[in-house]
Chain A
Amino acid sequence: MNPLDLAGARPGPAFTVTFDGRQIEALPGQTVAAALWAAGITSWRTTRRTGRPRGIFCGIGVCFDCLVTVNGRPNQRACLVPVHSGDVIRTQEGTGHED
């Protein structure tokens, strides 16, 4: 069983957002991190010093590992930010201010 069926979820219609230019589907009520996980994506940041990939770690807004660029704004915590139709989500390189 998948988690949506387990909880008897009947979410409103899915919408699309882009992640690094590719279209993915998201559900109303999801955070950016949840939408990315649901699309099978687990990393969306590279670290400042060594360029290593990162994604969710604590899942509750404490660790800042999940930083991401949403609609041009870097350093958003993907585990807290709600996803909206048409959002442009990009892998954040370093501090997100380099480009």
Chain B
Amino acid sequence: MRTDLAVIGAGPAGLAAALAAAAYGLRVTILDAAPAPGGQFYRQPAAGLRAGRPQALHHQWRTWERLRDALAACDAEILTDHHVWAVECGFTVHALHGPGRQESAAVRAEAVLLATGGYEKVLPFPGWTLPGVVTAGGAQAMLKSALVVPGRRAVVAGTGPLLLPVATGLAAAGAEVAALVESADPKAFVRHIRALAAKAPEGAGYAARLLRHRIRFLARHTVVRAHGEHTLTGVTVAALDSGGRVRPGSERHIPCDTLAVGHGMLPHTDLAESLGCRLDGHTVRVDGEQRTDVPGVWAAGEATGIGGATLALAEGHIAGRSIAARLRSREPDPREWTAAATVRGRLRTVARGMDAVYSPPPSWTEQITDDTVVCRCEEVTAASVRRAVGELGAGDLRTVKLLTRAGMGWCQGRMCAPAVAGVAGCELTSSTRPFARPVPLGVLARQHEDTTEEGAS
């Protein structure tokens, strides 16, 4: 299949870009792994559940309705249930689809937009592998798409703005939320008040909802341990002092069967890295037009920096316009997107303020006992990571990985990299992965045959 622009990811960023580019007459193909467009923010209840009031689980539903209607009215093609595992230079986008993801599809395009979003970062603590402990975003995703809650009594914990919609969402859906445990210090907001002023009304709205659902808000607190033998039975929380250390004697036990926990988000950068795009730390580097430094490849949304759905929409819009102009060999005029650029500038400042306020307590590694599993897939304990550093002299993430197998399992280190780096005391570097998704060997073999045939003809 041939197209002008392949958009990978049908979240706010990808959809805004597709709409902007299609409005200029480009042929656009959107690929997304999910069964329906919307991304994480506009995640919909599954069609089979026939939800009459899906907006009850969302804010900014009007924006979604506008996106959805515009998408239906334009002729951008949307391929859902397509898991992109590689993008070849030139460009060919390879995706798996169908039952068991055994079928392979290839889309050839002149330009590619990476709008792959992000996933949640969770730092370990004793007991975090117990069933009943889930990521905050995961609890939210299960609620929004499948209309299920994991248990009856939940604690929501960690740090970051996502904890607020998760706690109030779970409560609205009937779970008892015993506490929202946030490690950030409310004083930090005051220090960043200028950057965060725009967030105040939203914050006030959540404060009202916490009150309405009688959710206890424990600021400057952290979960030090999850308890249970085969399933979660409760958590121990403790207060943090001004240096971010656990205050001795402040521990208390809260019984619960669910712990929704998160410490911020990490961008999906696998495809960008395999295409050779330059990163800034953990995010894809882009210019004012959302171009990466690889010609023909644009990026927008959380992949270029965590900042929320509205920022993702603005970046997507700019990318779409830039692509439309560039593919027609025209120099784009930034005045075409003045409004979006203003929103982008403002929200990037807010995002920096949020980053400064919501950072995990500096002492989080002190809570990790030697027998705490840090790599969930390979069941590597903190003790073996510490041994790799202390006795075997590992000084970087890659060496720790080779010595311990941390990050070599199914998830390819997506879940444990921040944990392993923290426990080892080394820098969190990105690990290049050959494929963005697991690929059946049969598909790879067929791919090889196809290319050799093409080469021979």
Please indicate the chain A residues that have their CB under 8 angstroms from the CB of B410 in the complex: 64, 67
Interface flags, B138-159, vs A, CB<8A=1, else 0: 1111110111111100000000
CA distance A31 to B119 in the complex (A): 20
Among the listed A9, A43, A58, A63, which residue makes an inter-chain contact with B45, where contact means beta carbons less than 8 Å apart? A9
Q: A59-B137, A60-B137 in contact; A11/B50 too (CB < 8 A)?
A: yes
17 A/B residue pairs, CB under 8 Å, sorted by A: A2-B174, A3-B173, A7-B147, A9-B147, A11-B49, A11-B50, A27-B48, A29-B48, A34-B148, A47-B379, A48-B379, A52-B129, A57-B138, A59-B137, A62-B414, A63-B414, A63-B415
Q: A60-B40, A62-B411 in contact; A3/B143 too (CB < 8 A)?
A: yes
Among the listed A9, A47, A64, which residue makes an inter-chain contact with B411, where contact means beta carbons less than 8 Å apart? A64
Q: Is the CB of A58 within 8 A of B135?
A: yes
Q: Is the CB of B119 within 8 A of A62?
A: yes
Q: Is the CB of A53 within 8 A of B131?
A: yes
Q: Is the CB of A59 within 8 A of B53?
A: no
Q: Is the CB of B231 within 8 A of A42?
A: yes
Whether a CB of chain A sits under 8 angstroms from the CB of B230 is yes
Q: Enumerate A30-78 residues with CB–CB distance to B below 8 Å.
A: 30-31, 33-34, 37-38, 42-43, 47-50, 52-65, 67, 73
Please indicate the chain A residues that have their CB under 8 angstroms from the CB of B415 in the complex: 57-58, 62-63
CA distance A65 to B378 in the complex (A): 11
CA distance A58 to B119 in the complex (A): 8
Known: A6-B172, A62-B414, A63-B415. 5 other contacts (CB 8 A): A1-B174, A7-B52, A29-B46, A33-B146, A57-B133
Q: Enumerate B93-152 residues with CB–CB distance to A below 8 Å.
A: 100, 119-120, 129-135, 137-143, 145-151
Q: For residue B151, which residue of chain A has the nearest CB?
A: A42
Please indicate the chain A residues that have their CB under 8 angstroms from the CB of B52 in the complex: 7-10
Q: Most A CB atoms within 10 A — which of B45, B57, B149?
A: B45
Please indicate the chain B residues that have their CB under 8 angstroms from the CB of A49 in the complex: 378-379
Please indicate the chain A residues that have their CB under 8 angstroms from the CB of B145 in the complex: 31, 34
Q: A1-B172, A42-B151 in contact; A63/B49 too (CB < 8 A)?
A: no
Please indicate the chain B residues that have their CB under 8 angstroms from the CB of A33 in the complex: 142, 146
Whether a CB of chain A sits under 8 angstroms from the CB of B237 is no
In angstroms, how far is the closest chain A Cβ from the Cβ of B307?
19
Q: How large is the interface on B (under 10, 10 to 19, 20 to 34, 35 or more residues)?
A: 35 or more
In angstroms, how far is the closest chain B Cβ from the Cβ of A34?
3
Q: Is the CB of B135 within 8 A of A59?
A: yes
In angstroms, how far is the closest chain A Cβ from the Cβ of B82?
13
Sorted nearest first, the 3 A-B pairs with minimum C-beta distance are A29-B48, A59-B138, A29-B46
In angstroms, how far is the closest chain A Cβ from the Cβ of B168?
12
Q: Is the CB of B138 within 8 A of A2?
A: no
Q: Is the CB of A59 within 8 A of B51?
A: no
Q: How large is the interface on A (under 10, 10 to 19, 20 to 34, 35 or more residues)?
A: 35 or more
CA distance A6 to B171 in the complex (A): 11
Please indicate the chain A residues that have their CB under 8 angstroms from the CB of B393 in the complex: none
Please indicate the chain B residues that have their CB under 8 angstroms from the CB of A34 in the complex: 142, 145-148
B residues whose Cβ falls under 8 Å from a Cβ of A: 33, 35, 40, 45-54, 56-57, 100, 119-120, 129-135, 137-143, 145-151, 172-174, 230-231, 257, 376-379, 409-411, 414-415
In angstroms, how far is the closest chain A Cβ from the Cβ of B380?
9
Whether a CB of chain B sits under 8 angstroms from the CB of A21 is no
Please indicate the chain A residues that have their CB under 8 angstroms from the CB of B54 in the complex: 7
Q: Is the CB of B148 within 8 A of A38?
A: yes
Q: Is the CB of A57 within 8 A of B134?
A: yes
Q: Most A CB atoms within 10 A — which of B35, B49, B100?
A: B49
CA distance A12 to B50 in the complex (A): 8
CA distance A75 to B100 in the complex (A): 11
CA distance A55 to B50 in the complex (A): 26
Whether a CB of chain B sits under 8 angstroms from the CB of A79 is yes
Among the listed A6, A7, A42, A60, which residue makes an inter-chain contact with B138, where contact means beta carbons less than 8 Å apart? A60
CA distance A47 to B377 in the complex (A): 8
Q: A11-B50, A28-B49, A37-B142 in contact; A4/B147 too (CB < 8 A)?
A: yes
Q: A59-B139, A60-B119 in contact; A29/B45 too (CB < 8 A)?
A: yes
Among the listed A30, A48, A63, A79, which residue makes an inter-chain contact with B46, where contact means beta carbons less than 8 Å apart? A30
CA distance A56 to B130 in the complex (A): 10
Please indicate the chain B residues that have their CB under 8 angstroms from the CB of A42 in the complex: 131-132, 150-151, 231, 257
CA distance A79 to B76 in the complex (A): 28
Q: Is the CB of B46 within 8 A of A58?
A: no
Q: Is the CB of B149 within 8 A of A3?
A: yes
In angstroms, how far is the closest chain A Cβ from the Cβ of B250?
28
Q: For residue A73, which residue of chain B has the nearest CB?
A: B100
In angstroms, how far is the closest chain A Cβ from the Cβ of B144?
9
